[in-house]
Amino acid sequence: MKQTRYILLISLVAACGGLLFGFDTAVISGVLPILQTHFGLNELMSGWVVSILTIGCIIGVFVSGSLADKYGRKKLLYIASLLFIASAVGTALSPTILIFQCFRFLGGLAVGAASIASPMYIAEVAPADKRGRMVSINQLTIVTGILLAYFTNYLLVNTGENNWRWMLLIMAVPAVAFFLLLFTVPRSPRWLLMVGKEEEGLSVLKKITDTENAVHEYEEIKKSLSTKKEKFSLKEIFSSKSRTILIIGIFLAIFQQITGINAIMYYAPVIFDTLGFSIDSSLFQTVLIGCVNFLFTIVALFFVDKLGRKPLLLIGSALMSISLGILAFAVNKNIGGYGVLICILVYIAAYAISLGPVTWVLIAEIFPNKHRGIGMSISTMFLWASCFAIALLFPVVLASLGIVNTFLLFMAICMASFVFYWLCIKETKNTKLESVE
């Protein structure tokens, strides 16, 4: 029981990176309408202001895999926390849109680093029977950050002409707390063994499980690492033996982003405005979206290790397809009001129990110990590249296709993701990382 509490504690600290990840990506939804007026932004420029964070994410992810392997998961989390602090203060104080974009890009580097380091760290410290739930905590903190951003945006919207600055600055508080809390967690035992710090690695394993299991796990990790002692080559991850896993990781990452979730998360007020809701009403309904996202992510925590990864993905993608289809029909027939809101909330709930948490769990599980850093890095780069495309192009797509056809497009993508999960994903619940290999 004591060890379970300890694992939960250090997982929660590491997952604070996810909280800041969620806050930084979602806060722009409330800030954007104000920035459009304040700086006179057109549709394409609005998309650029939103999506520049994802450019930083892509670069952050690109360098984070090798940094995580060289310097450790914990040090990478330290770097991310400092970048979050700088981004919060810098965007809030920006006198021009150019400076705002520079600091938002810096926030993207932080999000990229956190999106690699947090789930990787948790996956490497959690025992097999609790790993799905513990890694899903990272997704829970992401949606908590999103909810906090929506809620603080709603509370601060009527605080005067500098309201957007306060919306951005408030992120500095959890960022500082994250930096300080990192001093309380150990380094990843698998990373410690990978770099030859065997005594410290065994000591950490004994803290997270009993002595007998710690020794057994220590031997298994050593065995998995001893299969290749020479310096790792990037070409290895693209070899025929590893290529299939990499392709699966890439498609998992892409489908998590292109099924429409970020279009709704980033542009929820814009979507509700298009459907005829007032700005205050739109921001309040965005808070409802955040609440549903949060609550159903908690539901996922209870099922990811019991029901399994694959069933959740299939159930979620099916429900997302159905809700988007009904939503498109309702909007096309001018059936507005709360019916439209309910369809969107069902879509969010379906995502929250499936693609949201399970994608991060699988990406952290499917790669071997020696490939995990670079494998997660490449997969997550595709995740953020997809996110960038959605963030940049959604205003243009919405203006070109209209709201109905845009929803139908996302429905078709959700159906394609269902087929992929059905054919390509194997179950990994209750399996040790070394056995997943």
Task: List the one residue out of 37, 35, 121, 48 whose CA is nearest residue 78.
Answer: 121
The pLDDT of residue 230 is 46
Instruction: Find all residues with CB under 8 Å of 15, minimum gap 6, and list them.
Output: 118, 122, 137, 138, 140, 141
Dihedral of alpha carbons 21, 24, 28, 30, sign: positive
* pLDDT tens, per residue, the chain with 437 residues: 677 788 889 999 999 998 998 898 888 878 888 888 888 888 778 778 877 888 898 899 888 878 888 898 999 999 999 999 999 999 999 999 899 999 999 999 999 899 889 988 998 888 777 777 888 888 889 888 988 888 898 888 788 888 889 999 999 999 999 999 999 999 998 889 888 888 898 888 888 887 778 888 888 888 777 654 445 555 666 665 677 888 999 999 999 989 988 777 656 666 666 666 655 566 677 778 878 888 998 998 888 888 889 999 999 999 999 999 988 888 787 766 677 778 888 999 999 999 988 998 898 888 876 777 788 888 888 988 887 788 777 778 877 888 788 889 999 999 999 999 999 888 877 666 666 56
Element (H, E) at 61: helix 43-71
The SS3 of residue 159 is coil
The pLDDT of residue 78 is 95
Let me know if 124 is exposed, middle or buried by CB neighbors in 10 A (0-12, 13-18, 19+): buried
Give the number of other CB atoms < 10 A from CB of residue 248: 18
The pLDDT of residue 279 is 55
Element (H, E) at 424: helix 372-424
SS3 labels along 304-338: CCCCCHHHHHHHHHHHHHHHHHHHHHHHHCCCCCH
The SS3 of residue 218 is helix
CA distances from 98 to 47, 86, 95, 103, 380 (A): 14, 16, 9, 9, 27
Contact 14, 124 (CB under 8 A): no
Which residue type occupies 154? Y
Task: List the one residue out of 143, 71, 152, 61 whose CA is nearest residue 109.
Answer: 61
Helices assigned H by DSSP within 188-260: 189-194, 198-208, 211-225, 234-237, 240-258
User: CA 369, CA 301: separation in Å to the nearest integer?
Assistant: 24
Residue ranges and CATH numbers for the domains of the chain are 2-185+236-430 (1.20.1250.20)
User: CA 30, CA 192: separation in Å to the nearest integer?
Assistant: 42
User: CA 266, CA 261: separation in Å to the nearest integer?
Assistant: 9
Task: List the one residue out of 307, 346, 296, 306 whose CA is nearest residue 324.
Answer: 346
Let me know if 431 is exposed, middle or buried by CB neighbors in 10 A (0-12, 13-18, 19+): middle
C-alpha distance across the termini of the chain, in Å: 29
Contact 139, 18 (CB under 8 A): yes
Instruction: Find all residues with CB under 8 Å of 399, minimum gap 6, and list them.
Output: 43
Instruction: Find all residues with CB under 8 Å of 211, minimum gap 6, and list them.
Output: none
The pLDDT of residue 380 is 85
The pLDDT of residue 317 is 95
CA distances from 370 to 70, 182, 186, 229, 380 (A): 12, 24, 20, 10, 17
Instruction: Find all residues with CB under 8 Å of 164, minimum gap 6, and list them.
Output: 31, 34, 35, 38
Name the pTM for this structure.
0.75
Task: List the one residue out of 144, 177, 154, 123 whose CA is nearest residue 24.
Answer: 144
Contact 22, 141 (CB under 8 A): yes
User: CA 153, CA 320: separation in Å to the nearest integer?
Assistant: 27
The pLDDT of residue 395 is 74
